[in-house]
A and B are shown apart, each in its own frame.
Chain A
Amino acid sequence: MRRLRFLVPVALLAASISLFAFEARGAEPGTASTGEPESEGRRLFVQGCSSCHGFEAEGVKGHGPSLIGVGEGAADFYLRTGRMPLDRPDEEPQRGPSVYSGAEIQALTKYVGSLGGPAIPEVHPEDGDLAEGQKLFTENCAGCHQIVGRGGMLPGAVIPDLGAANARDVAEAIRVGPYVMPSFGHLSQSEVNDLARYVEYTHDPEDKGGWGIGHIGPIPEGMVAWLLAGVALLFTIRLIGERTTR
């Protein structure tokens, strides 16, 4: 919530500055010479994104990368999961509520897609194999995201919890490699399906032991066991050590 409150004035400021800048730029001869009606996506891009990514999406040194050739998948992933726009260019993009409506995201995605690059990746978790998915997840993803997808940390970055990630997010992240995550081009379409199926399963996994403790991993689970055992031990020590009075 704090993040959102902070975003509103920043977005407004960015929008007004970029609008102003665009007006000034639009007045120059040559820029508006195409005569084509400006698309909604382009308008939103200039308003909300160009301060970091550049007016022609060519990138701004030290602020944001070029979006030419990144494709619809990347734009869809960052916008839909609320990772973009950022408050500050050097901040780690994290999942949150999106500032754009669904239609606006579509328009922006279409605009970024028109600059070249791969389309939104397909994913069919219903065709995926859960066991295979777990195996692939262990091999490729669990190092960072933890085996039940609860995320963690890495020097220099927070690793997101996949609890809110749907199949489409998973497929896009695998292909795009957002922030410091590498991309996984060598995974086949069916492997992506398997992984998406497994990530969906981790949202509500079957707890063999009966008590998941938030699925945060074996170390906290061990800690809980120790704490419970510790209480029982203290109780027993107290019992043995206590003088029996009449």
Chain B
Amino acid sequence: MTLGGLFSRAVAALGGLSGLRRRQGELHQISGPASRKFDAVRSEEEARREDGRARLAEHVPPPELDETSDPRAELVVALLLIAAAVAFAGFVVFYVVSEDTQLLGFCIGLGLVLAGVASALAGKRVVIQEKSTEEYKDYGDREEQIQVEDHLVEGKVGVTRRKLLFSSLAAVGAALGAAAVMPIASLGPRVGEKVYETPWSAGKKVVDETGKPITLDTLSAGEFITGFPAGASKDDIGSPLVIVRLETDELELPADRAESAPAGYVAYSKICTHAGCAVSLFRYPTFDETQPGPALVCPCHYSTFNPADGGKVLFGPAGRPLPQLPLRVGAGGVLEAAGGFYEPIGPSYGGIREAPGEQPL
């Protein structure tokens, strides 16, 4: 016995317990094996044929369980559905009055289970299930075939405005297509130059998570820290920086960025250019001869950037470098931005440019 079979037995037993009775069988009394009347007077051939038919009848599979709709089952299903509705309503109520997410999950789960039981029960007890066998009629009649074919041809011939019908159909298709495409017009405004607007500009001081200024003494070579613009929102996607200090001889920055890393401090946007996660892994070898070199790694999809080389992609799905922010040393050794990011920050999308003013790719 299968698991499902066991379960349906259990459901049936439950139904029996709750007073549900199967109203079944009556329909089937007639479909039992045809009673064999044996007439001795019949010819032998006839008897053989009869015998064969009887054997065929024996092979007919046992009749399926037939049931007519049961008003009590209908009531139970309705009650279950109402209970499910109440559970779902409970979700709404608890969503408003309580902060307990487990209660919300319980309501949704209970509602789904009740609705599921209701539909299973409805399928088994409310909807009439019947399987009947009908003998195949012999359609071997040529005349009839010709008639049917004629009917079909007539149907086609009868349509006199086929062109009109087909053009209207095409019009419907086109209009439906247009309607489906139309909502594109409701998409938000173009990102435009907004992606280059970050809280960072020349002279903006760099502070740490607690608001303390990051100075030249904050890090030693091989250390990193998360930085933010002083006095700006930390939540802005352009705000967080991952600041790494490398040995000055480790730096391989392009010539035009040679001044962007005072005392080996390099700053990059903390937002990965692949999918916008926070680049929070920093790898710095103790012994670079046998160990992998310095890298900033995004924990989401392991995009790996080279902090020594302007954030160039070393590995992973990111398609463009981690945007670098040029740094300089301000009064009191405090690090500050020497300008905006070299590249647009944030995750990449179609048509993003490498730098402000460049033509879309």
A interface residues (Cβ-Cβ under 8 A, vs B): 61-65, 89-90, 92, 139, 142-144, 154-157, 177-186, 235-236, 238-246
Contact = CB atoms under 8 A, between A and B. Distances in A.
Interface stretch (B138-146, B219-227, B259-267): B219-227
B299 A143 contact: yes
A157 B4 contact: no
18 contacts: A63-B289, A154-B283, A155-B302, A155-B316, A156-B283, A156-B292, A157-B292, A177-B223, A178-B286, A180-B284, A180-B291, A180-B292, A181-B284, A182-B224, A182-B282, A185-B219, A238-B4, A244-B65
The CB with the most chain A CB atoms within 10 A, among B119, B278, B299, is that of B299
Given A142-B280, A143-B281, 7 more contacts: A90-B290, A180-B286, A183-B220, A185-B219, A236-B120, A240-B120, A244-B129
Interface in B189-223: 209, 218-220, 222-223
A225 to B, nearest CB: 11
Contacts of A242: 2, 4-5, 8
B289 A238 contact: no
Nearest to B302: A155
A53 to B, nearest CB: 10
A65 B287 contact: yes
Interface residues of B, number: 47
Contacts of B335: none
A63 B289 CA distance: 8
Contacts of A142: 280
Dominant secondary structure of chain A at its interface with chain B: loop
Q: Which one of A65, A186, A235, A238 has the greatest number of beta carbons of chain B within 10 Å?
A: A186
B287 A182 contact: no
Given A62-B289, A155-B292, A238-B4, A177 B116 contact: no
Contacts of A143: 278, 280-282, 299
A240 B123 contact: yes
Main secondary structure of the interface of B (DSSP, over half): mixed
B290 A62 contact: yes
Contacts of B284: 177, 180-182
Interface in B107-132: 116, 119-120, 123-124, 129
B285 interface: yes
B99 to A, nearest CB: 14
A246 B62 contact: yes
B295 interface: yes
A180 B285 CA distance: 4
Nearest to B217: A186
Contact of B222 (A90, A177, A238, A240): A177
B219 A186 contact: yes
A68 to B, nearest CB: 13
A242 B222 CA distance: 65
Nearest to A88: B290
B64 interface: yes
Contacts of A62: 289-290
